[in-house]
Structure 1
Amino acid sequence: MATFIVIVTFAVLVRSTLGFGEALVAMPILTLLIGPQQAAPLVAFLGPTTSTVILLKQWQDVDVKSVWRLILSSLLGIPLGILLVRQMPAGIVNAAMGALLLLFGWYNLVTPRLPTLEGMGWAYGFGFVAGILGGAYNTNGPPVIFYSALRRWSPDRFRATLQGYFFPTGLLILISHGLAGSLTGTVLRFYGYSLPFILLAVFAGGWLSHRIPRESFTRLVYGFLILIGAYLVIHNSI
C-alpha cells in the first residue's frame, strides 16, 4: 500500500505542477502493482479530482474562449475517430504521435522557439484532432498540450486552461468506467485511501508551480513531453 500511495501522490504532484502527465507516471507502475483492470479506473479518478481543486482555486486563469472551442471541436472529431479506429492500428498512430511529441519537445529545448499561435481559430483545429485521437485511441491530450504550449501562456494560465479542457473529458471517461462496471469496491477503496494524499499533492503542486521561474516551467513542460513521446514510441513498438 505504501508504494501505491507514493506513486499516486507523485503522479498527482506532476499533474498539479505542470497541468498534465499523471497517467504517464501512474499507469505503467500501477498496472504492475494492481493490474490494468483496477489501474485504469483509478487513474481516471485522479484527473477530475485534481482538475476540480485547481479550477476552484484558479478558475479566473482559464482561457474560456480557447476551452469552449477545444471542447466543441473535440466533440465533432470523436465520431470520425471512432470510424478511424477500424482503419488504422492504434500502435501505429500512437507511435507516430509519440515521435511528434519527441521532436516538438526536443526542438523547443535546443533551438529557437516555434511561432506563437495568435488566432483563436487554431483551437478548433487542435481540438478536432484531439477529438479524433480521443475517439479512436483515448489519446486526446497531446494535441491540446501542443496548442497550449504554442500559445505561450503564463504557467498559471497554462495549468488552469488545461484543467478547463481535461475536467469535462476526464469526467466522461470516469462515467464510462462506471457504466462499464469498472468502478469496483476495490477501486473505490484504493481511491479513498489515496484521497488525502491526492489533495495534499494538488496543493503542493500549486505551491511549486508558483515558485518555478517561467523559463524553467516551460523547459519542464517540454522535457515531460519528450518523456511522454518516448513512452508512446517504445510502448507501441514492442
Structure 2
Amino acid sequence: MSASPVIFAVSLIIFLATVFRSAFGFGESLVAVPLLALFMPIDLAVPLSVLVSVTIAGFVVVQDHKKIHFKSAGNLTVYAVMGIPAGLWLLVHVEESLVKLILGLVIILFAIYLLTGKKLTELKNDDQRWLLGCGFLSGVLGGAYGINGPPLVVYGAKRRWSAQHFRATLQAYFLIASMVGLIGYGISGLFTWVLFRYYLWSLPALIPAILLGRLINTRMKDDQFFSYSYLVLLGLGILLIANSVAFK
C-alpha cells in the first residue's frame, strides 16, 4: 500500500477516536489502537495513541480549565501511579486472554446493572477511600491494557459531576498519566522518526475532532451523559471479550 492511503487511514482513525475521547473523556485507546494496528506495528500504534492522548488532554485542560476538579484529578492520578506496577505485573505474568475475558465480563455486568436504572450512592465530597479504590484500579487497568476509564466513570457518577466537569477533570488526569507513559516509552526506545511523522500527519485531524467532541459533550444532559457512558462501558466490555477470544 502506498504512503498516501495509509496516511489518510491513520488520520481518519485518529479523527474518530479523538471525537469519541473528546465527547466522553475516555476510551479512545480501544478505538484507535486495534484499528491503527491494521496499518502499523503495535509498538508504533500504542505510543502514537498516547501521543494523541497527551495532545487532546492538553488542549482540553487549557480550553476548559475552569471546569476541572483539580483536587480530585490530583488524588486520582497519585493513586493511579501506585496501581501501574500491579498492572504491569499482570501484563507480564498472567495470560492476557484470561485477564481480558474476566475484565470484559465484569465491565459488562457492571454496565448492565447501571443501565437498568440503579444509581450509585452519591458522594457529596471527595472520599479518600473511593479515590484510592478508583484511582488505584484505574492505574492497574491502565498499566496492564491502557483501559483507565471504567473506574473513573464510577467515581464521576458517584460525585454527580456534570458531563462538562467529568470530561475536563478526566483530561487533567490523563494529561499527567499519559505523560508518565510517554517517559516509559522513551526509555524503552519506542520514540522513532516514523512515530513522529505519523503524529505530525495526524495533527490536522485533531483540533476539529476535539471541537466536535466538545460540542457533542455540551449537548448532552448529565443523566443522559452517564447513560451513554454506561453504554460505552458495555461496548468496551464486549470488545475486550472479543479481543480475548480472537487472540487465544
TM-score normalised by the chain length of structure 2: 0.87
Q: 1:25 to 1:133 in 2, by over 3 A?
A: closer
Q: Does 1:120 align with 2:127?
A: yes
Identify the residue that residue 237 of structure 1 maps to in structure 2: 245
Identify the residue that residue 49 of structure 1 maps to in structure 2: 55
Which structure 2 segments of 5+ residues have no match?
Answer: 1-6
1:209: how far off?
1.1
Contact 1:126/1:144 (CA < 8 Å) preserved in 2?
yes
Identify the residue that residue 141 of structure 1 maps to in structure 2: 149
Identify the residue that residue 214 of structure 2 maps to in structure 1: 206
1:35: how far off?
2.6
TM-score normalised by the chain length of structure 1: 0.90
Instruction: Please point out which of 174, 193, 200 is paired with 2:182.
Output: 174
Which aligned pairs between 1:10-21 and structure 2 lie closer than 5 A? 10-21=16-27
Identify the residue that residue 106 of structure 1 maps to in structure 2: 112
Contact 2:163/2:221 (CA < 8 Å) preserved in 1?
no
> 1:110 corresponds to which letter in structure 2?
T
User: Partners of 2:10 and 2:139 in 1: how far apart?
Assistant: 31
Q: Does 1:75 align with 2:88?
A: no
Instruction: Please point out which of 27, 31, 46 is paired with 1:25.
Output: 31
User: Partners of 1:21 and 1:138 in 2: how far apart?
Assistant: 9
User: Partners of 1:194 and 1:134 in 2: how far apart?
Assistant: 24
Contact 1:145/1:162 (CA < 8 Å) preserved in 2?
no
Identify the residue that residue 227 of structure 2 maps to in structure 1: 219
Q: 1:75 to 1:205 in 2, by over 3 A?
A: same
1:110: how far off?
2.5
Percent of counterpart pairs with the same letter? 34
Q: Deviations over 1:169-197 (max 9, x none)?
A: 11111222222222211111111111021
1:134: how far off?
3.6
Contact 2:27/2:149 (CA < 8 Å) preserved in 1?
no
Identify the residue that residue 46 of structure 2 maps to in structure 1: 40
Instruction: Give the total of aligned pairs.
Output: 238
SS of 2:38's partner is: helix
Identify the residue that residue 9 of structure 2 maps to in structure 1: 3
SS of 1:153's partner is: coil
| Greater Cα shift, 74-83 or 187-196 | 74-83
Q: Does 1:92 align with 2:98?
A: yes
User: Partners of 2:200 and 2:91 in 1: how far apart?
Assistant: 35
1:138: how far off?
4.2
Which structure 1 segments of 5+ residues have no match?
Answer: none
User: Partners of 2:72 and 2:142 in 1: how far apart?
Assistant: 18
1:90: how far off?
3.4
Contact 2:81/2:177 (CA < 8 Å) preserved in 1?
no
Identify the residue that residue 203 of structure 2 maps to in structure 1: 195
